[in-house]
Structure 1
Amino acid sequence: MAEHGGQGGQILDTRLGDALSERYLAYAMSTIMSRSLPDVRDGLKPVHRRLIYAMAQLRLDPTAGFKKCARVVGDVIGKYHPHGDVAVYEALVRLAQDFAVRYPLVEGQGNFGSIDGDNAAAMRYTEARLTIAAQALLAGIDEDAVDFRQTYDGEDSEPVVLPAAFPNLLANGAAGIAVGMATSIPPHNAAELCAAALVLVRRPDAPLSALLAVMPGPDFPTGGIVVEDAAAIAQAYETGRGGFRLRARWEKEEGRFGTWQIVVTEIPYQVQKSRLIEQIAELMEAKKLPLLGDIRDESTEEVRLVLEPKSRGVEPEVLMETLFRATALESRFPLNMNVLGADRVPSVLGLRSVLRAWLDHRHEVLERRSRHRLAAIDRRVEILEGFLAVYLNLDEVIRIIREEDDAKAGLIATFALTETQAEAVLNMRLRSLRRLEEIEIRAEHGKLIEEGAALRALLGDETLRWKRIATEIEATRKAFGAGRLGARRTTLATAPAPVVLDQIVAIEREPLTVLLSRQGWVRALRGHGLDREALKFKEGDDLAHLVECSTTDRLCLFGSAGRAFTLRAADLPRGRGDGQPIRVISALGSEESVVAVFTLTESGRRLVAAGSGRGLLVRDADLVAEKRTGRQVLNLRDGETAALCIPAIGDHVAVLGDNRRLLVFPIDALPELSRGAGVALQKYKDGGLRLAAVFTLADGLDWNGRRRLPADLAPWLGKRADPGKPAPSWMLRNR
């Protein structure tokens, strides 16, 4: 590749690969350093820093009037940031949007866009000034608090970083994509950040847990609910990488005649409301949201999205779960705290390191401002001492000025003044010669001497400096922790229990009664409390199992081969006909019979046992079968069959064998397994298990419609696997 020299017309041969590498590296470094990554000290990118500094130079403080944004953008691109005006104005607009930044740095007047995604008006129509947060970022900038550098054309100077009395990086967050790296930092609550910083000031070795105790997570400007696990949040802040699940805030509003609707009042951060509504409408049209009937936008300045269910029988939680899974009502905000350090080197930092960097910057700013102020005091004290020296002989001063050719030299020689003092005396106004002025000078001199001594003590003692920093941070915490601006907007909730999408399929929650006949025909009828005498079956068939449930329930069918099958109540055949064979719906074997049918619950537990008398406890969660072929729960030996599957609610088990002997023993003696052969419930010489029941001993045993008290059962209390004793007559009656 040929390169032309600038003045001499020299041509150099360069390898294309080398030239591309050099230019691409320069581009990458420019992107990383000057465009995409924020500085860890003030949390600003160059364009934002230049905007704030330019507005400060225009005297656009919070108490001043507004100026046209076009004027601000013109100053920025003309003096500090030689880039396009559109990009600079977009950066200015974002700093003024209270739904985009947690603590706006610019106060806008005019149309600055909306949460619907509307664009701001042209810069010639809008006006702006700085906010108190921006003012805090600039505090001390005229007191040599930070370094300055020349602007791009060398005609002016700009700050390398702002003093940053406000924790802007974490308070407002940042996002950017550079070459080969990116950053994504969510907003946080400034008062909580200050509290965490104070923890570090008082305990420099404080662990992350101490910081998270006062700053538990992000605080988004649009509110919402963070549903991330606490351990995952801690891990993210420890490493600087992770993410947060953010959900919309909603509530159920009751209507007339039993109707209700969902009202969404807060949507996830950076989600455009209009686009969210379009997305939900598109999914409704595609019939991918079967539970949702309608959506309306009733928002004014506050968000209010109204969601109407297709039927009032739908559970609100189920409806919202389908929306969270399918729409932007739930989003994930990534955490990647990739920032430029004080040495301008990009790195990914954890929460503790970011706060430490901000505190170290505040310490440096305090030292520099103190030295600057001390130097100003020393200069003023020198001048005041010169004034006091000449006040004792004003007549001689006047004579020297009137008669001497070199008045300055005469003053220096006569009163032993420095050149600075002599110059100040010569420039003194005549009105300053009055006695009152001398008193004021002596008072000012005393105050400055006292302030200078305090500054020298401060600069000489690091402990005093950190106390001063703690006082400043506490003042910042109070300033930004009060009122509507300071109140936390995002709620931190526990992570929701995982929900299998297959469970959220019910079109409507309504009562059902499931019927299973002796010949294996199953059907579901609407309602509960059916008249059993009125139920009709095929000729020669009869009712075997009846279960009252709802359309959103899952049923367990436990077979004689020890397998559990899962059926969804909503999928069972409806109507007054005979239904369908159970073996068509499940893979129940032709030789298998149904031992039990029941509704699965989250906390339920069952006692399952074989006819030989071996049994175990199993939770409902372990009876769920994802496949049609079912799940083997009770392992059977040759010739054995499953005899029972009953609820295990209580603290004792009563077992009756074919040998007409009864045994009662504590349920704790049985193992709880997800699958197994079980242990012996009762010892038999002949026959096997006939009946069993689980009950609470203190309440007694309900048998044949009559409750038997603990005293009635005392003779049969024993250990598991004992033979038991002959059963009482009341137990054998009608059995």
Structure 2
Amino acid sequence: MPNKEKNNLALNLSGAGFGKFHNVSLSNFAEKAYLDYALSVVHGRAIPKLSDGLKPVQRRLLFSMVEMSLRSDSKPVKSARVVGDVLGKFHPHGDQSAYDAMVRMSQDFVMRYPLIDGQGNFGSRDGDGAAAMRYTEARLTAFANVLLDEIGFDTVFFLPNYDGSYQEPLELPARLPLCLINGASGIAVGLSTEIPSHNVGEIADGLVAILDNRKISNNEILNIIPGPDFPGGGQVINSRSELAEIYLTGKGTFITQGRWFVEELARNKWRLVFTELPHGVSVQKVLEEIDELTNPKIKANRKSLTSEQNKQKAMMMSYLLSVRDESDKNANVRLVFEPKNSKTSKEEFIQLLLSKTSLQSSSSVNLVLLDLENKPKQLSLREILFQWLDFRVKIVRAKFSFKLSIVQKRLHILHGRIKILEAIAEVIKIIQEHDNPKIKLMKRFALDQEQVQDIFEMRLRQLAKIELLNIKGEIIKKKEEETIFLKVLKSKKSLEEQTKKEILSLKKLYGDNRRTLLKESAKVTFEAEVSEEKITVIISYNGWITIKNGHDIKISNIQFKAGDQYNLLFECTNLDHLISFSTSGRVYCRALLELSELKIPELPFSSLVEPAPNESFHTFFVGKPNDRFIVLTQYGKGLTTQMDKVLSKTRVGKAFLKLDDDDKPLKIIPIPKEESALALLTNNGHLLVIGTDSVKELFSGGRGVKLIGLRPGDQLRSACLVGENGLEFGALTKQGQSKILRFSRNKLLDFIGKRSQKGRKINSRLKIESMK
């Protein structure tokens, strides 16, 4: 085909929604693809959020454990159960990586304030790995409540999980900045983060100081938060000016050393004992370094030790007699160095060990986080504290707004009860004498539907006189709570005061002494899964539902009731949702997981919901919360929406489609991710092909837009997406004979039009019965 014809065909197909055709440079495409991958790693794996200080796998583990009720006061369960649950629901990646993240959150030599309480072998500071997840057990620590206690107060947004079957929090409502308190480490594409841990008390004091004075200087902040506080202690020897520069720029290097003392022995002998090591350094690592210095190995492609190896060996052997690990349950670290001669200079001995081993180390600092706009950014300590306080004030506002709404709803109910109990005789009379007492009660006592419903659910013993006194007492209590909540919510200043109060409370609860010594010194030189199952849903024309395990179910093996017939089949999973638009335009939803657990061979959809007497169901769809689809009506109208916008937990459904008189939902068409074309067929045999992107999105429902213009007396008969091979029509001749018409994609170019056009007649001599 000539290039000109190819270009014309590409333009025509693009206009019909068949997809756009254009040339792309391979280098540009590869660059964009790699950028997408890089962003995915940054947001989904390596860089923690400033708000809660967690990476996605950590957040999912903690949230999953809350869902499993594994609080600090509960009985621990096998780690394999936790890992399986988080993989199945939220984190479809390797089980070992999830377990490793769980192990790290339980190790008190990695986390300054561990979030998981591990039972069993969860590894050691010497580099020993944790036991397999089938042997260990876990639950949350009490400190994890700092992240999780407020998750039930409508404080954070929830998003669908990877398959849309569950909801997971976008972030946790942290009550302290975990990004600073426990630190973080991660390597993404093109950037990395390395944040040291800090002391809870110092961070809390810093936050309070900012709330008291928003113009606080960097120097004043550094007076309160002077430096990192590592889990294993040790000491940081950077000068104050160096620390100030690190926290101002968000990058730099901490020089850390172990802590030691000289143990005096009899006969003027002594030995050097290290009781704390630099962060990330183990006793085993130091021993291996000493062995490498005193017992060097011949390097590859050489016959003997190098002169440098011999020099280092001679130097170490001239000072060191022996080294041994005396660590035990009473001393996490006790590393003993014996000098070769008691007359050896203690200063020189210490300098030798610090300079030649990891007893003196460098810890890089790179304060990179996903900020409140979810963008990776290098921040200063000041910026982190200020941004986190903005986040926290927002959470406090959401929490108290939620509490206020609960209290006000309760007061609303209680006021209704007061009205009823004060006129209980009249109420009983109304209930006895009227066919619809709810309406009468609502008018007589100025009640709303919610109050009347509560009254009808009251037990007889709640009608006693003493109950009236209890309600009045509860109203007084609730009003006091309402006053407190309104006082907190009245201004930003009051919200900040509440935030300050909560921070100080947490400091009192979790504050402890600093472990890491800050001692300025020069760097020493000597010359750290509900399983998803495949199911098939078969729906009859009269709305009967049949669920079979697996896929590839033969319709011929399904028996339908007399007068009923096959309508639809969906191959899906038990984690999907089934929806139906009734003849009134309401949408009803049921989770397939619930239906598959009923173990009933078949049942009518109407028995699963509570429709109005005049409603019936013929239009169905099965999908996941993020699936998009088009809903079409017999009068040729339609709209695009998304599954999660129509899902409802109530059996009475929700109003969605606004239908004209006598109009009814006709069909639901799923929309693929790539551009596609929608074919519309009327009863009179007119066909119109339009792009799916021309159908207006209405996530809140409505009347939709006219997709095809209908001639008088005509209605929309069918609709479907145009396949790779075009369309196939079932037709009848004037003599009643069946005939099949096949239109290729090129043939369908004649029927391409704009939305609301009337389309073209397919064949004036045939009656078109079906289209697929």
TM-score (norm 2): 0.62
Give the Å deviation of 1:13. 5.5
Matched residue, 1:383: 413
Matched residue, 1:25: 35
Q: Distance in 1 between matches of 2:80 and 2:433?
A: 59
Q: Distance in 1 between matches of 2:439 and 2:162?
A: 45
CA separation of 1:342/1:405 partners in 2, compared to 1, >3 Å: closer, same or farther?
Answer: same
Counterpart pick for 1:490 among 497, 516, 538: 516
Structure 2 residue matching 1:143: 3-state secondary structure: coil
Equivalent residues in 2 for 1:712-727 (5 A)?
A: none
Counterpart pick for 2:77 among 67, 71, 76: 67
Structure 2 residue matching 1:96: 3-state secondary structure: coil
Q: Distance in 2 between matches of 1:20 and 1:423?
A: 61
Percent of residue pairs identical = 40
Q: Distance in 1 between matches of 2:80 and 2:288?
A: 34
Q: Distance in 2 between matches of 1:499 and 1:491?
A: 17
Q: Distance in 2 between matches of 1:54 and 1:307?
A: 46
Give the Å deviation of 1:8. 8.2
Asked if 1:501 is matched to 2:531, the reply is no
2:257–2:277 contact (8 Å) kept in structure 1: yes
Q: Distance in 1 between matches of 2:503 and 2:524?
A: 44
Matched residue, 1:454: 484
Give the Å deviation of 1:172. 0.5
Q: Distance in 2 between matches of 1:16 and 1:335?
A: 38
Give the Å deviation of 1:11. 8.6
Equivalent residues in 2 for 1:201-600 (5 A)?
A: 201-286=211-296, 287=313, 288-289=315-316, 290-301=318-329, 302-481=332-511, 486-496=512-522, 501-502=526-527
CA separation of 1:376/1:500 partners in 2, compared to 1, >3 Å: closer, same or farther?
Answer: closer
Q: What per-residue deviation string (whole Å, max 9, x for no partner) do you get for residues 230-282 of structure 1? A: 10001101111111111011111111211111111111111122122111121
> What is the CA RMSD across the aligned residues, in angstroms?
1.7
Counterpart pick for 1:82 among 85, 92, 97: 92
Counterpart amino acid of residue 465 in structure 1: L
Give the Å deviation of 1:38. 0.8
2:355–2:524 contact (8 Å) kept in structure 1: no
Counterpart amino acid of residue 171 in structure 2: V
Structure 2 residue matching 1:107: 3-state secondary structure: strand
Q: Distance in 1 between matches of 2:150 and 2:441?
A: 37
Higher normalized contact order (CA 8 Å, seq sep 6+, divided by chain length)? 2
Structure 1 residue matching 2:401: 3-state secondary structure: helix
How many residues are paired up?
492
Counterpart amino acid of residue 346 in structure 1: P
Q: What per-residue deviation string (whole Å, max 9, x for no partner) do you get for residues 112-150 of structure 1? A: 000110000111111111112211111211111111111
Q: What per-residue deviation string (whole Å, max 9, x for no partner) do you get for residues 450-486 of structure 1? A: 22233223222222111111110101111111xxxx2
Counterpart amino acid of residue 383 in structure 1: I
Q: Distance in 2 between matches of 1:315 and 1:335?
A: 34
Equivalent residues in 2 for 1:1-40 (5 A)?
A: 14-40=24-50
Structure 1 residue matching 2:105: 3-state secondary structure: helix
CA separation of 1:500/1:262 partners in 2, compared to 1, >3 Å: closer, same or farther?
Answer: closer
Structure 1 residue matching 2:209: 3-state secondary structure: helix
Counterpart amino acid of residue 153 in structure 1: D
Q: Distance in 1 between matches of 2:401 and 2:167?
A: 21
CA separation of 1:417/1:76 partners in 2, compared to 1, >3 Å: closer, same or farther?
Answer: same
Matched residue, 1:726: none
Q: Distance in 2 between matches of 1:13 and 1:59?
A: 54
Counterpart amino acid of residue 125 in structure 1: Y
Give the Å deviation of 1:75. 1.0
Q: What per-residue deviation string (whole Å, max 9, x for no partner) do you get for residues 506-560 of structure 1? A: xxxxxxxxxxxxxxxxxxxxxxxxxxxxxxxxxxxxxxxxxxxxxxxxxxxxxxx
Counterpart amino acid of residue 18 in structure 1: N
Q: Distance in 2 between matches of 1:443 and 1:215?
A: 47
Q: Distance in 1 between matches of 2:203 and 2:254?
A: 18
Give the Å deviation of 1:499. 6.0
Asked if 1:119 is matched to 2:147, the reply is no
Q: Distance in 2 between matches of 1:68 and 1:499?
A: 46
Structure 2 residue matching 1:501: 3-state secondary structure: coil
Q: What per-residue deviation string (whole Å, max 9, x for no partner) do you get for residues 177-202 of structure 1? A: 11110100011111110011111010
Q: Distance in 2 between matches of 1:280 and 1:435?
A: 84
- Structure 1 window deviating more from structure 2 (281-290 vs 229-238): it is 281-290
Q: Distance in 2 between matches of 1:32 and 1:205?
A: 33
Give the Å deviation of 1:370. 1.2
Give the Å deviation of 1:500. 6.3
Q: Distance in 2 between matches of 1:243 and 1:403?
A: 83
Unpaired runs of 5+ in structure 1? 503-735
Q: What per-residue deviation string (whole Å, max 9, x for no partner) do you get for residues 553-588 of structure 1? A: xxxxxxxxxxxxxxxxxxxxxxxxxxxxxxxxxxxx
Structure 1 residue matching 2:520: 3-state secondary structure: coil
Give the Å deviation of 1:19. 2.4
Unpaired runs of 5+ in structure 2? 1-13, 297-312, 528-772
Q: Distance in 2 between matches of 1:199 and 1:212?
A: 11
Q: What per-residue deviation string (whole Å, max 9, x for no partner) do you get for residues 425-451 of structure 1? A: 111111111122111111111221222
Q: Distance in 1 between matches of 2:467 and 2:222?
A: 57
CA separation of 1:11/1:120 partners in 2, compared to 1, >3 Å: closer, same or farther?
Answer: farther
Q: Distance in 2 between matches of 1:152 and 1:63?
A: 31
CA separation of 1:216/1:424 partners in 2, compared to 1, >3 Å: closer, same or farther?
Answer: same
Give the Å deviation of 1:326. 0.9
Counterpart amino acid of residue 256 in structure 2: L
Counterpart amino acid of residue 38 in structure 1: P
Counterpart amino acid of residue 104 in structure 1: P
Structure 2 residue matching 1:164: 3-state secondary structure: coil
Q: Distance in 1 between matches of 2:86 and 2:280?
A: 27
Q: What per-residue deviation string (whole Å, max 9, x for no partner) do you get for residues 199-244 of structure 1? A: 1010111011111212111011111111111100011011111111
Matched residue, 2:684: none
Equivalent residues in 2 for 1:128-207 (5 A)?
A: 128-207=138-217
1:219–1:489 contact (8 Å) kept in structure 2: yes
- Superposition misfits of 4+ residues, deviation over 6 angstroms: 7-12
Q: Distance in 1 between matches of 2:491 and 2:21?
A: 61
1:133–1:166 contact (8 Å) kept in structure 2: no
Q: Distance in 2 between matches of 1:350 and 1:9?
A: 47
Give the Å deviation of 1:166. 2.5
Matched residue, 1:665: none
Q: Distance in 2 between matches of 1:237 and 1:292?
A: 39
